[in-house]
Each structure stands twice: as structure tokens, then as C-alpha cells.
Chains A and B, each alone.
Chain A
């Protein structure tokens, strides 16, 4: 470990760099990345820190190259990472799909920018569907953390490596341009791995200790075999849903309306909630921390006693669909969505809260 890194202390650090340092602390042996804004500080940081630690850094020929290097490194049993932003993430999806099928662990980061297409480099959450629905081809899911500040970027990077290894599955952070670019104080916690992480000795390739030849593949031509592989994956996903679903609830006990938001949108929603309470509105906040598995059950329970929910997101109703799926017709789910770098102000949210509370019984309030 570099003597310059003050582990255990509070420091001021950029979000992108905090994820890089957390990965180094968590024992990431190889980082592969291709330049794209707004995540470049992470690749730059790793180009120095990984070499300082005597580990592997490659600026790859493409995002496709990077994820396939991860496929190779994961297959020989080493921790590895890649990062990108929206258009680059689209390129990685094929490789993520292969890794999900082959049950190979990898940790990766998407610092979401405006899209579709080349879009812009402004903060957005519009890769929610891509992240939470698997992203590539086939029947699979990816564990998705949606941190809300630089401390969580650091903490969930460490946790991300652990859960990826625990379940042998691709795991990611969905951040955005604000979280990646901003500096904030954080405590550089010492890495403490989850207890009982499984050994990789029985499946890693190239290990002379393994007796019989091993095969890592996502190709299963016979239908019952491939169906069974997918069913096995889904049994694993049920375990993950049971064990790893994370969320935060704030002031929902007396709430007439609950804001549902994650990441940067949740920070703004939290401030708006305080402002609205000063005006006498009874507002709570529900913050999904894992976006997949989505905290559907606690949201459903909340819907039993809350008449309104207002989803605030930096996309046009992507998480809103999950909230509606989770709550059914038990509550009215309103939406305040901005896109392509548009950021809702506190006052906008407060105004939207009032509209939602004033809405007719059959009316859903949406801002587009």
C-alpha cells in the first residue's frame, strides 16, 4: 500500500478517484479502461495507483477490449474492474452477458451521462433500464448499487468486489456525472472483506492444482442444458434478492406522500423534503440503494399506508415503472423526471409534491 494514502482518515476526494482507491484497497489486481467523459479521472487514477502497487493497468483499444480482458482475468481467479460512461457501457454489454452466463465475478462502474446516442457529458440516470435489466442479451441480471455521495462510492466499490465474488456475478455501481466529478469529504475506511467469501480454487483456470481440465463457456447448445443454466442463475438471483436488497427510509412514519429517488436525485429530494416539511407538508423519502435487486417488498409495504408517492429521477420514468410494479394499484405513483443533464431544483420538487397532493383521485401527476 502506498504510504501517501491516509487509510482511516477523512480526506477530500473526487468521486471517480474515490472508487479507484477503494478498488485498490479491495485487492483489485487488474483495471482495464478506455477514455470517456465523465469518468476519466478514474482511469487516470488507476494508471498511477495500479502500477504503484505492482498490479495491472491497461488503457485498452476499446471498451469491448476492456470487458473481455476482465473476462480473462476473472477466469483465472483474480479480482478485476472496468469503468466507462453510457455509450461505452453499451459496448461492454456483450461481455457482461458472457460473464453473467459463465458465472465470472467482475466489478464495474457506469458514470452515467446524457443519452441516447452520443448524447452529452451531463449527469443523467437514463441507463437505469440498461443496468437493472441485465443490459446485454439473454436472461440475466447484474447487481446494481446506486450510491448517493462520495463516501458511498468508496464503500460500495469495496462491497461490490465482495458480492461479485460471493455470488460469482457481475456487479456494478450506477453513478452519474455529478457524483463522479464532485469532491466531497469521505473517510477512507480500511477494507474488511465479507466473512466466508468462497474460494476460487475449484473453478479458476490455469491452476496446476486442479486435476481435470476445466471449461469456462457460455455456449450450451442443448436446450435443456441451457434452460437449466438460466434456471440456476435465477435461483442465484433469488438468493441475491433475499440477502442483498438495500434501501433507506427517512421520515415515512407520518407521511402523506413519499419521495422515491436514488443517487444524485435522492440528495435533491432530501433537501426538498425538508423544505416541504417547513411548509407543513408531511413528506418522507424512500431511497433504493440497490437498484437491482430493487427493494420492491418494503416499497409495497409502504404503499399500504401512504396515499401518494413521487418518483424523482434523472430519466423519464424508468425507475417510476419499477415503483409502479412494486406498489401495484395500492398508491398513486407520480413522476418528476428530468433528462439529458436537466436537474430538478428543490423548488420544482416542492411544487410537484403540492400538485400530487392536490391531484384528483384518478389523476397521476407527471411533468412531461
Chain B
């Protein structure tokens, strides 16, 4: 017995090719993979910092958890898996090939007798005659048979299902191939260059032409997967690869131009197809290819595949009207904007930066309540799988923008271009939110009977105008009191309270009136007071609208229900204004849409290697699982025959087959 310690190399070889090591690697790989599904991968680093706090952010970053599947340690596990599988193949292949060829014809009678599955039969037949019929039988059962003469009779050595071993070799080589293919398409080259200091990630937000060479990859780079957004009528000759918290610029071997981007919709409003008409130009500007790509229908040119990946606004030009919401006037100012650009906004409300973030030509909204599910079982049995989408409606274009104040604080707004009908009346809608995680809170502003927002703006201007207040209050008191009270102390008192109410309202809407009531009015009388104040404000507001109209040279508003609702809605909107969070309102008047198509361009030389590996894997798995390797020996001597059978895998099928062969032998010997 060899008691000398194994050399390190030998031990390593033993470990690498051991089953336990392979199983451990499979388990570790599975567990490591889970991490990347739990923690969202490749998010902007700022998000992680908020989510994890500064300490864990750093720990996670060091561990490479923001891009687990490209972390060094993860690649190391994969490398070990490939190495272990390779060593396994290396170790077993010669043996397996020998086994596949061999009939194990040197088996001794003694060892056959030691088999668990053996069956002996007495026979009167001559050994050669029995051997011939048994060979026919076994061959009929799919066995390959060797008929070997022995000094006292015959040995039949038979085997079936050798492809099981071939399956092993195929499946395991396939794993190696797939991993190699995957590595070819991974960013190994860049990783090495980055480690050696040849390449560096760009983290600044600068035009791509200014990105230095150290952050650019040449067109000969064998594998990449990057994306680029091209506005209609423009072209691009680079794509951007997102790496860690920055990006790299990949120069393309050609230029991609976008002629047109189209979205088609189903009747329900859901998108049906995204298509881009693209053109490829070589470096001299000559057109080399023209094609339409769509989701699931990429274009492959010169080893580079071009995919329809996303879409966005490509710089829609818009004309808007702005109102300074807290100015005591109804006047508006024009604003011109382009999506993804920002402009300085100087208005009475102060200095702001207006950043247009998006424009959407359609907005499909659910305008109705949910349909109550059918109650009884029979109704459900026959209930229709046809969805009831009557409530979905296209509410028209919208614009998204951020308004950033001088301190850098920004709020995000989403304004619809067209009015919405709610409870039979029409409103302009404007949404606001503090951060992208919130949903928009909407403020609505009523339209007048002509469908214009001007009446609301005039009323708002008048109510906020302190100089007009005495005049409004006076007119209100005149209207409210009978003629015999005119000029009396009652009128003075009413005028005074109305002025006070109007001043309070102009300070903070109904909220400040509410606070006033809470402070000044005893609890028991608050409800009554609130009712009275509301009435005063409403009537005064109607007078304010009269004054504003006459100042603007317009006919007075009719004293009808529509005007009543207009006034009530306006008062609510003015109150909302104080919590709205923006000093201005922008109304989208006109737009000239420019769409952009998000393309993904990839070059993956490993793809065919992976596919070939996959083919081998499939074949290998089927051979391994569905081809059973069995061996049968029949040792025939004058007077007796010994059947023995073996298989690497004992199973019920094997037992059945052995019983069948044993029975066949009993028949044959007669």
C-alpha cells in the first residue's frame, strides 16, 4: 500500500475531479446567482447609496454586488466550474471510450457467478447451437454481441446502450463550451485592460465626442453590447456601454441613421409594435444598407446585430404659455422649449431653470371605476374573457418638466395639453411630485363655457390683487344687501368683513380661512361661520369676475349655473395652488414631435459556440437519461448455461429486463 502523501498537484486533481467538489460548485453558483436577483443590478450608484447607507454601500461595492455576474469572484466560481468539468472529462474520457468499445470479454466464470443478477439453466443443446439462438435473441433486443469460443464451450458477451457514456462526454463538454462562449461575449478584454490601466470608465455627463480615448473602445473590439438613442433624422456612429457607475463609448464600424420611428397601437391603446426605419452608412458616408427593424426582428450586418430596444422623445419642440400663479394679473408669457433641454425662466416669481424631460403624444388612462366582479357562480361560468376596456381613453398629449429653483431644488410636473371632463365639467390638469418614486398629485383648473382657461386666470388675478379688494367687497355688499341698508353701518361692516375674508383667501385659500375660523370663532359656531364665509367668498368672487371682465373689455359673465360652478371650481383651484408647489403654470399650446429610437447593438462572437454547446447539451442529456447501458454475458458449457447481467444504474426497468432475459434463456435451452 502506498502510504506516501500525495503531491499537491495530485491532490488538486483529485479534488477538482471529485463529485463532491462539482456538487459544491453547482450549489455555490446557484446561491451566488440569487444575490443578483434580489439586489437590483446595474442601477445608478446613487440609488444604492440611498438604499444601503454609506457604510454598506461601500461594502457592497467592494464585493461587486452591483454587477454580481461580472464580479471577479463570480467569474472565479465559473472558472472553477469549467476547470472541474474539464478535469472530469479528462479523467473519465479515456476510460469511457474504452468502456464503450469493450465487450468485457475477459470476464471469468468465477466473477460471473458473483453477479447479483445471474440465472443458470440446464440444457441438452450443444453450446454452439444455443449460442447461435441466444445471439439472435440478444441482437433482436438491441444488443451488440460477441461470440467467443472457450475451451469448454462459448461465451457470449453483449452490450447495449453505450451511447449513455457518449451522452456524458457530450453534456460535460457542452458545459465547457457554453461557458467559453459566454466568456468570449463577456467583457473580459475590457476588464483586463482596466486592471492594467489602459482603459477607464467615464463617469462625467459630457458629449460623446469629448470622451477621451481612454474611455473609448475601437470598432475592432470583438464583443460588445451597447445602446444608443437616435432621434428621427439623426444618426450615430457610437454606442454606450454601461459599466459600473459610468459608461464606455464603443465606436461602431458604420454609422446608423434613423429615418423614422413608429408605434402602432391596439384599439385598446396598448402598444402593438415598435418599428424603426434605419439606414447604415460606411465611414465614407456611402449608404450600405436600408432596413426596418422591430422587436423580435433585428438586423444583423457585418456581425453586428441591431435591435429595437426602446423609444423616447428625441427633442420635440414646443410652444407653451406660462402664468405666474401668484401674480395679481391674468397676463401670460410665452415659453419655447425643446425636450431634453432646459431654459432659464425669469418671471415675477423669481429665477428658475425649466428642464423639459419628456413629451408624450398619447396618454391612455382608465377613466372609469373598476367593474364589480360578477357575483354568482353561474355568471362566472359563462363570464366572458373579453375584457371590458370601455373606460380606457386616450387623453391626449402631455409634457413633463422639472422646475428647479435658485437653490437647486426641483419638482417634477406633468401637464396635459387637452382638458379632461370630470362630472360633466372640463378642467386643465397639472400634476406635481417631489421625487420620481411618488405618483403625481393633480391640480385641476376649470375652463369657462368657451373652453378657455382665461376666465379662471382673470378671476385668480383679481382675487390676488389687493388693490381691487375694496372695490370687490363694496360691490359684493351692494349686491348682498337690500336697498334700504345701502350706505348704513351694516354695509360698512359687511364690506369690512368681505375685505378681510378676501385678504385671508388671497393669503392661503380656504386653508387660511379655516385657520382663521379655528382661532377666532367658538367651537359651537364654527360650522355656521364656515358656511357664511364660504358664501361671502363665492359671491365676492363672482363680483371679482365681473370686475375682471370689464377691465379686460369683456361682457360680464352670465349669472347662471355654469358661472356658479366656474367660480366654485376656481376657488378650489386657487386654494390648491398654495399646496401645488409651483409659482407658475405652463400650458402646452403647440408641438412638433420628434421621436427617438433606442437601439441596442451587439457583437457576440461566442453566440454560435454557445448554441453549438447547447445542441451537445441537449443530445448529451437525452443520451444520459434515456439510454441505459447494460451488459449481458452468457457462458455456455455442455449441459449448462449461465446468464449474468450488469448495469451501472439499478432500476425497476433493469430488474424487469433481467427477468425477461432469464425467462428467454429458459425457453431457449429447451
Do A and B associate with each other? Answer: no
Residues of A within 8 A of B (CB): none
Residues of B within 8 A of A (CB): none
